[in-house]
Amino acid sequence: MQTFKKEAIEQVLASWAKDAAVYVPVSRAGVKEFGPWSPKVEPDFTGNTRLSPKGLMFPQTETMYSYTVTEGGMGVVLEEIDHKPARRVIVGIRPCDVRSVQVMDEVFLTKGYEDKLYKEKRDNTLLVALGCLSPLPACFCESMGLNPMAAPGADAVMYDLGDSYGIIVQGEAGEALVAALGELVKDGGQVPAGEPCTLKVDAEGLTAKLQKMFEHPLWNKVNRKCLACGTCTYLCPTCHCFDIQGKNKGDEGYKFRCWDSCMYPEYTLMAGGHQPRPSKKERLRQRFLHKLQYMPERYHAWGCVGCGRCLAYCPAQVDITRFMQDVKEVAIDG
Amino acid sequence: MNEITLKMREIARDLLERGEVQRVLGWEKGTFPYQSTPFFAETPADADKLIWDEYCLNNLAVYLLDFRYGEEKVALFVKGCDSRGVVRLIQDKQFPRERVYLIGIPCPGLKDAAAAAKLPAGAEVPLADKCRTCTHKNPVLYDVLVGPEEPPAKIEGDLFAGVKELEAMEPEERFEFWQSQYERCIRCYACRNVCPACNCRECIFDQTAKEWLSKEVNGANNQFFGMIRAFHVAGRCIDCGECERVCPMDIPIMKLNRKVIKDINELFGDYEAGTDLEKLPPLGLYSADDPEEFM
């Protein structure tokens, strides 16, 4: 491990900012999210960001390409849009969110298809994580198999050592980041002991049980208080559903993709008017099963990283850990 | 265990045992001490989960919409603001009075759960924002009342102080204010879904194929959403503050709604939506002396 004094953070970020855009947690009107760093920006490394960093790789709205119709409607000229960002370093990303980036990597980059828009951002992004000494009340990452003090998917991990930060590199890109700091860092320090999550839930065997519960009466209960808004899906660091729509004006237009939410009625509405998920019962079931059954089935990993955003900000306090507990407790046939 | 909680459970159990109602909507304790969360008691045994404490913030009126097409009778615990939500739904012909049994709870004002989440255990928790401007601590409509009535609400300062600040701004400055607020909007529609006045069978913002509003999330589209919603609830907003409470991006939505309330008061005379079943919203009726300066 190497360390640098806390008051040197500005110099550290400035060193990285020489050849990359640096993103840090910043408060905007009281809402914390990742924003571009400049010497005028004060990073806020307390707690976690309300909006996850997923928007940096997968923006809420992104123009895909634009077009011009030619030859009286018989031809079209496509204009590709360069989405490739400059090299980026995300500093202060928490272990849960690092894990969520790995989950998104599975979705967008594996199983035979690489999503170009995601890949060109992801390939240019380095992650400098910050270990969690004191998880927040809604944090339950340990129950989802994470260690709040370790971020295996990051290029480097920082630790708060009181009056200094410790930094451990993980891989070549991380080594280059620390090498760029030159005299600012010195050897020493060790990983401090962090506090465990206070919110715990037993996730073992959950997927296998849920596989037999698609029609279970529990679903009639868990959805009751859900308001079917999209807060959970939009704050979730691993929710990745999107829609593709176009905007056309005269002979010109563009296609964009934007986040979509399985909680919205329009999400599954068929062109002919059929609605396969007619009520919030089916919609909430989809969301929970996607995290806890479908993702484990497809990628052998939880779709939930235990960041706690959904349960902290749900207008009706729908809590996925309570649901998991309920699943543990109900009886099923067979 | 407080007395109101005990009384709530007794009433709910009795209603369910007698089959007077099919379910009772109240609150149960959530995961954290500062969370009380909507709960639907469906059997007499469920009644023992009901609670009343300083975090029963959710306005339960909106959940009546989940049962609007059925035949069943539902009982609902209502604070002052919740009862105004029920009046809203009855006046809007979304729920018949005879299918709801209202158990009123006088409410002293509740605590700010979001603030409590950040404070150490045992610290003094401030009053919830939506309760600071409460004008009806006692339910305006109920079949039975639990507990003694609260003294009439006294608002400290001016209910419209925030609106007046905005009105005093130059147009460009005001535009910039709202622009910076709605740039943050992520269009999760929590404000709409928690709102008892947002009771359209199908919301125009869900009709994406017709594209009244593009799914492209940007400042201009988000402002359009915010403004149309404010206009749609004009004269019908019951000032319960739920939209602002649930906004994950902390947009001061009530400033917009209060501006409309203030304008309506000035144009049509003072009107408090959802306080009187017989008094229709000013924009929902025709009167020969309606103002017509625009003619």
Residue A73 pLDDT: 86
CA dihedral B6, B11, B12, B13 (to 10 degrees): 90
Residue B292 has pLDDT above 90, yes or no: no
Across chain A, mean pLDDT equals 96
Q: Report the residue from A50, A256, A264 with minimal CB separation from B206.
A: A264
Residue contact B31–A311, C-beta within 8 A: yes
Residue contact A227–B32, C-beta within 8 A: no
Residue contact A231–B188, C-beta within 8 A: yes
Task: Using alpha carbons only, give the angle A75, A78, A83 rounded to the nearest 5 degrees.
Answer: 170
This complex has an ipTM of: 0.95
Q: What is the pLDDT of residues A78-96, one digit of tens each?
A: 998 888 888 999 999 999 9
Instruction: Report the pLDDT averaged over residues A22-49.
Output: 96
B78 with B61: CB under 8 angstroms?
Answer: yes
Task: Using alpha carbons only, give the angle B217, B227, B131 rounded to the nearest 5 degrees.
Answer: 105
Residue A81 pLDDT: 87
Mutate to test the interface with B, among A140, A227, A249, A307 (most CBs of B within 10 A): A227
CB contacts under 8 A, B 106-145 vs A, are: 117
CB contacts under 8 A, A 276-315 vs B, are: 311-313, 315
Residue B1 has pLDDT above 90, yes or no: no
Q: What is the pLDDT of residues A127-173, one digit of tens each?
A: 999 999 999 999 999 999 999 999 999 999 999 999 999 999 999 99
Residue B154 pLDDT: 81
In chain A, the DSSP E strands lie at 2-5, 21-28, 31-36, 61-70, 75-80, 88-93, 125-130, 156-160, 164-169, 186-187, 242-249, 252-259
Q: Report the residue from B31, B37, B180 with minimal CB separation from A321.
A: B31
Q: What is the pLDDT of residues B122-138, one digit of tens each?
A: 899 999 999 999 999 99
Q: Report the residue from B32, B190, B192 with minimal CB separation from A137.
A: B32
Residue B209 has pLDDT above 90, yes or no: no
Q: What is the pLDDT of residues B250-271, one digit of tens each?
A: 999 999 999 999 999 999 999 9
Residue contact A29–B63, C-beta within 8 A: no
**A334 — pLDDT class (breaks 50, 70, 90):** low
Instruction: Report the pLDDT averaged over residues A49-77.
Output: 95
Tell me the residue type at A307: C
Task: Using alpha carbons only, give the angle A31, A233, A311 rounded to the nearest 5 degrees.
Answer: 70
3-state SS assignment for residue A35: strand
Residue contact A243–B214, C-beta within 8 A: no
Instruction: Report the pLDDT averaged over residues B22-44.
Output: 97
The whole-angstrom separation of Cα A291 and Cα A275 is: 22
Residue contact A229–B117, C-beta within 8 A: no
**b/e burial code for range A183-202 (CB count within 10 A of at least 16 → b):** ebbeeebeeeebeebebebe
Task: Determine the distance in angstroms separating the CA of A147 from the nearest CA of chain B, rounded to an integer.
Answer: 22
The pTM score is 0.95
CB contacts under 8 A, B 62-81 vs A, are: 62-63, 66
Residue B294 has pLDDT above 80, yes or no: no
Instruction: Report the pLDDT averaged over residues B70-83.
Output: 97
Helices B253-268 and B219-232, axial angle in degrees (round to 10): 40
* Cα distance from N-terminal residue to C-terminal residue, chain B: 60
Residue A309 has pLDDT above 70, yes or no: yes
Mutate to test the interface with A, among B46, B65, B193, B202 (most CBs of A within 10 A): B193
Q: Give yes or no for B192 touching A (CB within 8 A).
A: yes
Helices B219-232 and B171-183, axial angle in degrees (round to 10): 100
